[in-house]
Structure 1
Amino acid sequence: MEANLVQPVVAALISAIIAARAYKKKSLNLSGAILGFTVMTIHIAVNYRFGAVLLIFFFTSSKFTKIGEDKKRKVDADFKEGGQRNWIQVLFNSGIATILVLIAWKLTGSKDNCLNSKESSLMTALMGGIIGHYCCCIGDTWSSELGILSDEQPRLITTFKPVQRGTNGGVTKAGLLAAAAGGSVIGLAFVLLGFLTTECTFDVALKQLLLIPLSAVAGLCGSVIDSLLGATLQFSGFCSVRKKVVGKPGPTVKRISGLSILDNNAVNLVSVFLTGVLTSIVCLFLF
């Protein structure tokens, strides 16, 4: 088999196994598994590091979603066993990054690069955008899935007033710390794998370590942006019949916060876009 075909074949095999397992475990429904397979194959086939950060986000988020399911079932009006993400959720959580990955492939093929603006400001910006994207995704997910299990009373990020669990824009200290931790895991994985897959001068390679604290900040920033959008542009109300916080107005729903402008998927999309842009800009100046 030709060398240039090995990575795509490996990518397809790994992605097929993971997508099938995720469907069986109910982490993804059928449409989510099909699109997930496509997205994973593209990431891994272009660059193993891009594939790694996607898989870290997916595996950890799927695992944390299943922690404390009984407690989450009582709070979350849209609770689904195992998380069961569909194609829309997969698209909104990986679509922008997939476009950036394809642009990177067009520019350099499957060659791995260090973050180094002097060598290529465009590639540095693209990699920064991809890293920021997944730092936001993992930060938001870790914050939501672990924060909701905290005994601490959530507070609305815009007013700091106590709100019920499940309210969009409600934050806890534990949730914010989880967001920063998630981002740092993305940065750590990208840096450590880079030491094995890239060929950079010692000073440039050493500078890559700055990505770890930057990723922690990106994870926290992404979670905060998501919370701000959720508190202002996404509706939250308490349903007196279901006794849960819901995301749509109704005759039995008392408004808590937010406007019915964005839904959860749109909030995620805007959050990853803004976090990706900010991280990309910082990478240009930092590296």
Structure 2
Amino acid sequence: MDNQFIQLIISLLISSFIAISSYRKNSLDVSGAFAGFFVMTVHLSVNYRFGAMLLAFFFTSSKLTKLGEDRKRSVDADFKAGGQRNWIQVFSNSGIATVLVIAFWKLKSSQDICLDSRESYIITSIVGGIIGHYSCSNGDTWSSELGVLSDEQPRLITTFKVVRRGTNGGVTKAGLQAAAAAGAVIGLAFVLPGIFTKSCRNDAFVKQLLVIPLSALAGLTGSLIDSLLGATLQFSGFCSVRNKVVSKPGPTVKRISGLSILDNNAVNVVSILLTSMLTSFACLYIF
């Protein structure tokens, strides 16, 4: 039986199990489960390392979303038990990577690769973009989910003034450290499976380890870009009725920062796109 066909069957089984399980645990709603199934199948069937990065992002983010739910409920106006993501949130956090994965498949089928621009300039660029994508997604999620639980008061990234918890663009030291750690996890998810699936030249193999610090930097950079966009192009205001920070203006809302240009999903997409591009260029330079 063809190896690619076997990989596709395995991908379908794994994706089905995770999508159904995530729906039952309220990590995804119905639309999110279908979107997640599609995205996971594409990643896993093309390259196990792409699947590993996606799953590292999904599982760690889902776990952290459920951490400290009572405290988050008191702060987040859009709080959902379990984090329950819909299809828009799934694609905003994985859509660009899915396009890059399909582009990789068109060029290399399911062949595994070592990052080496001398061997393939385009493929190294594409894979670098995927690494940057999930480093940013994971970094932003870890930063948000752990930063809000920190006892440290957040400061607006543009002015460094102390702001209420839940304010878009508010950062903490704990949140930034979490973003770097989250990026490093994505780097590990890329490097470790490659030890068993791909043999690189000696010099290229050693260089693959640089993906881990690069991913940590991408996670931190992505979180900072997300915060900058959130502080400037996403509205934050305090609602005197709900006693919470909200993302839409209203008669009972006093503006804190930002303009009503981008919503949270749009901020995620833009920050992911920019981080993916930066990481792609960095991979071409390093590898």
**Same fold flag (TM > 0.5):** yes
Deviation per CA, 1:29-50, whole angstroms, max 9, x where unpaired?
Answer: 0000001000000000000000
What is the one-letter code of the residue matched to 1:36? Answer: G
Identify the residue that residue 182 of structure 2 maps to in structure 1.
182
Offset of residue 212 of structure 1: 0.8
Deviation per CA, 1:241-270, whole angstroms, max 9, x where unpaired?
Answer: 000000000000000000000000000000
- Would you say the 8 A contact 2:169–2:227 is kept in 1? yes
What is the alpha-carbon distance in structure 1 between the residues aligned to residue 187 and residue 103 of structure 2?
Answer: 21
What is the alpha-carbon distance in structure 2 between the residues aligned to residue 257 and residue 116 of structure 1?
Answer: 43
Deviation per CA, 1:176-196, whole angstroms, max 9, x where unpaired?
Answer: 000000000111121111111
What is the one-letter code of the residue matched to 1:285? Answer: Y
What is the alpha-carbon distance in structure 1 between the residues aligned to residue 2 and residue 181 of structure 2?
Answer: 40
Offset of residue 92 of structure 1: 0.5
Identify the residue that residue 155 of structure 1 maps to in structure 2.
155
Identify the residue that residue 58 of structure 2 maps to in structure 1.
58
Offset of residue 3 of structure 1: 2.5
Identify the residue that residue 88 of structure 1 maps to in structure 2.
88
Offset of residue 4 of structure 1: 2.4
What is the one-letter code of the residue matched to 1:74? Answer: S
Matched positions, count = 287
**TM-score for both structures, normalised by structure 1:** 0.99
- Would you say the 8 A contact 2:4–2:45 is kept in 1? no
Offset of residue 112 of structure 1: 0.5
Task: State the identity as a percent.
Answer: 71
Identify the residue that residue 78 of structure 2 maps to in structure 1.
78
Identify the residue that residue 14 of structure 1 maps to in structure 2.
14
Identify the residue that residue 243 of structure 1 maps to in structure 2.
243
The DSSP-based 3-state class of the residue aligned with 1:4 is: helix
What is the alpha-carbon distance in structure 2 between the residues aligned to residue 196 and residue 207 of structure 1?
Answer: 16
What is the alpha-carbon distance in structure 2 between the residues aligned to residue 143 and residue 4 of structure 1?
Answer: 37
Identify the residue that residue 232 of structure 2 maps to in structure 1.
232
What is the alpha-carbon distance in structure 1 between the residues aligned to residue 147 and residue 108 of structure 2?
Answer: 40
What is the alpha-carbon distance in structure 2 between the residues aligned to residue 94 and residue 55 of structure 1?
Answer: 11
Identify the residue that residue 272 of structure 1 maps to in structure 2.
272
> Which sections of structure 2, spanning at least 5 residues, go unmatched?
none
**TM-score for both structures, normalised by structure 2:** 0.99
> Which sections of structure 1, spanning at least 5 residues, go unmatched?
none
What is the one-letter code of the residue matched to 2:177? Answer: L
Alignment of 1:126-145 (within 5 A): 126-145=126-145
What is the alpha-carbon distance in structure 2 between the residues aligned to residue 275 and residue 79 of structure 1?
Answer: 27
> Within the alignment, does 1:283 sit opposite 2:283 as a pair?
yes
What is the alpha-carbon distance in structure 2 between the residues aligned to residue 192 and residue 93 of structure 1?
Answer: 23
The alignment yields a C-alpha RMSD, in angstroms, of 0.5
What is the alpha-carbon distance in structure 1 between the residues aligned to residue 192 and residue 2 of structure 2?
Answer: 28
Deviation per CA, 1:35-70, whole angstroms, max 9, x where unpaired?
Answer: 100000000000000000000000000000000000
What is the alpha-carbon distance in structure 2 between the residues aligned to residue 286 and residue 4 of structure 1?
Answer: 31
